[in-house]
A and B are shown apart, each in its own frame.
Chain A
C-alpha cells in the first residue's frame, strides 16, 4: 500500500462526482491510499490569476502548506488544480519577492511553506506508481474490442511539467490498452475543451467541445475515455446536449473518466463505477461487458 496526501479540488464535490466516486472505488484495489487534506480550501484555479496574482498564489500556498505537514506526495485528480499548484510551487522558488509576500501572509495565520511538496496528477500516479503491468494483471472484466478516444485535455500535459508529451500525449491510450480496449486515432486529444470560460463565453466553449466530439466520433470511437479532470469530464458529458442543440447534431457519446473505466475493468459494479452520475449513459454500451457476453463473443470469433 502506498500513501498519498489527496486534494480533490472544489468541482469534485459537485459536477465531478462520477470521476471522484470512481477514484475512491479503485484506490484500494490499486493499493493506493488517498488521505484527503483536512479542511482544504480552493486552489484559486486560473480565474483568480486574472483577479490578483499575488493573492492567487497565497490561496494556492495554503493548500501546499497543509500538504507539506503530511510529508507525503500531494495528489490531485483535477488538471486545473494540478497546474496551478505546480505553478505556485515553481514561482515561489524563482520569485523571491512573491515568496516573501506569501510567506508573511501564511505566517500570520500560523502556517508556513518551505517548498518541499511533490505535486502529482493521479493519472501520473496510476501510470508510474501502479504501472501498466500491475494494472493489466488486475483486470477482471477486459474491455476487449471497445473503441475509445482517449482525451487528455490541456492542463494535464501543459505548460509542461514533464508529464507525458505536451502535444500528443499517449498515457491514457496505453492505460486503456492494458485494460483491453482499442484506442482510436484522436488528433485533438490534448486540445482544450474551453471549460474555464464555459459560463461566460458559452458559445465559444460549445464550439470547442463540438470539435472534440466530432473528432472522436469521426475516428470511430464508441465512447470517450477522459482524464480525471472534472472540468473536462463535465464539458464533454454534460454539455453534449448543448452541442446538439447549437449544432443540430445527435451526439450520444458516453464519456467515462479513466477512473470509471478502470473501475469497470477491475470488475467492480455499476455503482462503484458511478455510472448513474453520467449524463450521457454508458450502460447500454457496457451491457455486454457486464453480462459477460462481450468476452464470449470475442472468444467465439477467435476460434
Chain B
C-alpha cells in the first residue's frame, strides 16, 4: 500500500499462484526459455520488472503477455519458483477486468472461450470459433474454411452443442463466487 492505494505489484501478488513475484532475481531464464519470446515487445523477465516498478499502463496496454501459450517452460525452469506463466495469465485477467484494450485479438478469443463455458457447460468448439470470428474478422474465417471442412469430413466438428445438465450448477458456482467477493 502506498498512500492508502493498492500498488500494481500488490494487485498482482494477491492473485492465486502469483505471490512469489517479489522473489524474482531477474535472471532471465524465463525470457530465454519462452517459446514465443520473439513476439513479445517486453519479454517475461522485463514484464516482471515493469510490474515491480508500477508500470501498469505500459504492461497492460501491450500485446506481450497475450503471447503466452502456457507451455510452462519458464515455470519448470525458474530457479526461484515464481511461476511466470501464472503471472502472465493474472495480468491478462487484470487487463480484461479493468477495461484495458491492447490491440491483440486474444482478448476476444478468451472471452468467447469463457462465454462458451458459461453458456454450454463445456467448450462447444464450433460455436466458440464462430463467435470469435464474428466478433473479430468474419473474413478471416474464410481462411479457416479448408480446415473446418477437413474436420467436418472426418467427423471431428459437431455443428450443435451438447446439452449438459451440469451447466446450471456451474453457473450458480459462477454467480456465487462473484457475489462472495472475488479478488
Q: Which residues of A contact B (CB under 8 A)?
A: 10-11, 13-18, 39-42, 44-55, 57-59, 62, 80, 83, 87, 91, 95, 98, 101-102, 104-106, 108-109, 111, 154-155, 158-160, 166-167, 191-192, 194, 196-197, 199-202, 204-205, 208, 234, 238-239, 241-242, 276-279
Is B110 an interface residue when CB atoms closer than 8 A count as contact? yes
Give the residue of B123, B151, B177 whose beta carbon is less than 8 angstroms from that of A102.
Answer: B177
User: Considering the chains assembled together, what is the distance between the CA atoms of A70 and B72 in angstroms?
Assistant: 31
Is B111 an interface residue when CB atoms closer than 8 A count as contact? yes
Other A-B pairs beyond A95-B19, A239-B147, 14, CB < 8 Å: A41-B170, A49-B89, A50-B92, A51-B93, A53-B93, A83-B72, A102-B177, A104-B180, A109-B176, A160-B76, A191-B35, A194-B69, A197-B67, A277-B155
Q: Are A241 and B146 in contact (CB under 8 A)?
A: yes
> Given the interface contacts A39-B164, A55-B178, A200-B132, does A49 sit within 8 Å of B67 by beta carbon?
no
Give the residue of B124, B132, B162 whose beta carbon is less than 8 angstroms from that of A199.
Answer: B132
Q: Return the chain A residue nearest B162 by Cβ.
A: A13
- Would you list which residues of chain B between 41 and 72 have a CB under 8 Å from chain A? 67, 69-72
Chain B, interface size category, equals 35 or more
**Residues of the B chain whose Cβ atoms lie less than 8 Å from the Cβ of A200:** 104-106, 108-109, 132, 136
Is B158 an interface residue when CB atoms closer than 8 A count as contact? yes
User: Considering the chains assembled together, what is the distance between the CA atoms of A51 and B90 in angstroms?
Assistant: 8
Is B24 an interface residue when CB atoms closer than 8 A count as contact? no
Q: Are A238 and B151 in contact (CB under 8 A)?
A: yes
**Residues of the A chain whose Cβ atoms lie less than 8 Å from the Cβ of B110:** 47-48, 50-51
Q: Return the chain B residue nearest A51 by Cβ.
A: B114
Q: Are A192 and B35 in contact (CB under 8 A)?
A: yes
Is B80 an interface residue when CB atoms closer than 8 A count as contact? no
Q: Are A47 and B114 in contact (CB under 8 A)?
A: yes
The 6 A-B pairs at the shortest CB distance, nearest first, are namely A192-B71, A50-B92, A158-B72, A10-B123, A154-B71, A200-B109
User: Considering the chains assembled together, what is the distance between the CA atoms of A35 and B84 in angstroms?
Assistant: 35
Residue contacts A-B, CB under 8 angstroms, 10 given? A10-B122, A13-B158, A41-B117, A42-B117, A49-B92, A98-B16, A158-B76, A159-B76, A192-B69, A205-B69
Q: Are A242 and B69 in contact (CB under 8 A)?
A: no
**Residues of the A chain whose Cβ atoms lie less than 8 Å from the Cβ of B15:** 53
Is B101 an interface residue when CB atoms closer than 8 A count as contact? no
Is B157 an interface residue when CB atoms closer than 8 A count as contact? yes
Q: Return the chain A residue nearest B18 by Cβ.
A: A53
> Given the interface contacts A62-B169, A276-B154, does A46 sit within 8 Å of B147 by beta carbon?
no
**Residues of the A chain whose Cβ atoms lie less than 8 Å from the Cβ of B6:** none
Q: Chain B's nearest CB lies how many Å from the CB of A41? A: 4
Is B22 an interface residue when CB atoms closer than 8 A count as contact? no
Q: Are A46 and B70 in contact (CB under 8 A)?
A: yes
User: Considering the chains assembled together, what is the distance between the CA atoms of A29 and B18 in angstroms?
Assistant: 44
**Residues of the A chain whose Cβ atoms lie less than 8 Å from the Cβ of B123:** 10-11, 42, 45
Give the residue of B92, B150, B158, B176 whose beta carbon is less than 8 angstroms from that of A238.
Answer: B150
